[in-house]
Amino acid sequence: MTDKPIIHILGAGALGSLWATKLSKDNRIVLLLKKIDEKRSHQFRFIDKNQTTTITLPCECSTPTPQDSRPIDTLLVFTKSYDTLNAVQQLRNRLTPSSRIVLFQNGMGSQQEITQLLPGNPIYAASTTEGANRPDSQTVVYAGKGETWVGSISNQNNSSESEKVLSLLSGSGLSVSYNSAIWEKLWLKLAINCAINPFTALLNCKNGELVGQPLFDANITPLCHELERVMKVNNINKNADELEALVKEVIEKTANNVSSMLQDVRAGKQTEIEYINGYIELVAKNCDDTFPTNLVLLKRVRSSCKPHINTGT
């Protein structure tokens, strides 16, 4: 009989599967899936460098069923930002006041939705630069080693709980550190996503192909000035020049990436635009300010980034 901790993972996309694989060495991982087969297990190929391993993990249903009703101790959430609230709500009868939840969503807004839904729970947000992709539904490729920062975003900010979360996540062997200023990290990541993702989706190009394109070149500076102002409203001081330099640095480092937004568009999926540039527009409305460059990008993605056929490029 083993007393390894049980970690439930909601959202078995590329990143969820990467963490599930890495954490499975020291923990009992349970994947929460919408559809499960009678074996109640999920198998996929995991490719790390040139090594392929077959991973088989137990799974439970992510919607309420009499069979899957045991309380959840630790929940890592990897759903798309727009699915997060509904997905966590579906598990509500399995969450106790001590269930700890770690949110790995892109953008901003889903974190606040969960802290409002569960004001008494220890809730953490993580920001990660780990790279993983899923070339097909049965294969997960670990594409690039990165770093992960995690920090508390709930009122239940208790240091032994935070140490526990850090130690659980560090058991993955991935590089994880605790960040008591996690909102600042999330805001910086949001600003970078606002300044890269919509352009790549509109121009249908890799990150590294943005600089030099008239749409990007004409708008990046005014957009960074708007992001400086919106961040100031949220007590984050980063000036527009620093932001623009950071965006260009990320573009260079991720030159070969197809951004998550363009991946969604190419795969015919809904994008996370409402939790990226859409979140900036929400702040604009709340503080009676306007961020016109951001708004034009938001409207253009809303109207023209309807899913299109994957050309395979």
Q: Minimal distance in Å, beta carbon 35 to ligand KPL?
A: 27
Looking at beta carbons only, is 192 or 227 nearer to ligand KPL?
A: 192
Q: Minimal distance in Å, beta carbon 236 to ligand KPL?
A: 18
Among the residue ranges 133-141, 212-220, 251-259, 296-304, the one whose residues contact ligand KPL (CB under 6 A): 251-259
Q: Minimal distance in Å, beta carbon 262 to ligand KPL?
A: 8
Q: Minimal distance in Å, beta carbon 305 to ligand KPL?
A: 14
Full 3-state SS string of the chain: CCCCCEEEEECCCHHHHHHHHHHCCCCEEEEEECCCCCCCEEEEEEEECCEEEEEEEEEEECCCCCCCCCCEEEEEECCCHHHHHHHHHCCHHHEEEEEEEEECCCCCCHHHHHHHHCCCCCEEEEEECCEEEEEECCEEEEEECCCEEEEECCCCCCHHHHHHHHHHHHCCCCCEEECCCHHHHHHHHHHHHHHHHHHHHHHCCCHHHCCCCHHHHHHHHHHHHHHHHHHHHCCCCCCHHHHHHHHHHHHHHCCCCCCHHHHHHHCCCCCCHHHCHHHHHHHHHHCCCCCHHHHHHHHHHHHHCCCCCCCCC
Among the residue ranges 144-152, 228-236, 253-261, 291-299, the one whose residues contact ligand KPL (CB under 6 A): 253-261
Looking at beta carbons only, is 27 or 254 nearer to ligand KPL?
A: 254
Give the C-alpha separation, 289 to 283, whole Å. Answer: 8
At position 161, the amino acid (one-letter code) is E
Strands 72-77 and 95-103: parallel
Decide: is 260 part of the binding site for ligand KPL (CB under 6 A): yes
The encoded tokens of residue 216 equal 């990007």
Decide: is 301 part of the binding site for ligand KPL (CB under 6 A): no
| Binding map of ligand KPL across residues 21-50, x = CB under 6 A, - = no contact | ------------------------------
Decide: is 193 part of the binding site for ligand KPL (CB under 6 A): yes
* Catalytic, out of 35, 189, 253, 285: 189
Q: Minimal distance in Å, beta carbon 195 to ligand KPL?
A: 9
Q: Is 189 a catalytic residue?
A: yes
The encoded tokens of residue 4 equal 């390894």
Strands 41-48 and 51-61: antiparallel
Looking at beta carbons only, is 32 or 297 nearer to ligand KPL?
A: 297
Decide: is 133 part of the binding site for ligand KPL (CB under 6 A): no
Looking at beta carbons only, is 107 or 151 nearer to ligand KPL?
A: 107
Decide: is 127 part of the binding site for ligand KPL (CB under 6 A): no
| Binding map of ligand KPL across residues 93-112, x = CB under 6 A, - = no contact | -------------x------
Window 171-190: residues binding ligand KPL (CB under 6 A): none
Decide: is 207 part of the binding site for ligand KPL (CB under 6 A): yes
Q: Minimal distance in Å, beta carbon 260 to ligand KPL?
A: 3
**Catalytic amino acids?**
189
Binding interface with ligand KPL (CB under 6 A)? 106, 192-193, 196-197, 207, 250, 254, 257, 259-260
